[in-house]
Amino acid sequence: SAIELEAKANEQGGLFRAITAKQIAASLAKNGAGEIKEADIDIEEPIKKTGEHLVRIKRQDISEKIKIRVKAK
């Protein structure tokens, strides 16, 4: 499944601010994923462009990748 986030971006899809683990955690909680802490989210490289990105959620008993879809606002 994918989580969708919106962020301000230029015409080339470059974000004015990188998407943070805190924003992803808040979006997951809002979408019913339960309590996921910022520290549970592993972003391999900063998300600075629109499009699809993979991040890893790591908790005590689970490690899975989720897709983050970033759209221009």
Give the number of domains in the chain.
1
Cα(15)–Cα(7) distance, rounded to whole angstroms? 7
CATH code assigned at 20: 3.10.430.100
* pLDDT (tens digit per residue) in 1-52: 689 999 999 999 999 999 999 999 999 888 877 788 899 999 988 899 999 9
What's the pTM? 0.84
54 contacts 42 by C-beta, under 8 angstroms: no
Q: Summarize pLDDT for 42-58 with one digit per residue, the tens.
A: 998 889 999 999 999 99
Range of the domain at 33: 2-72
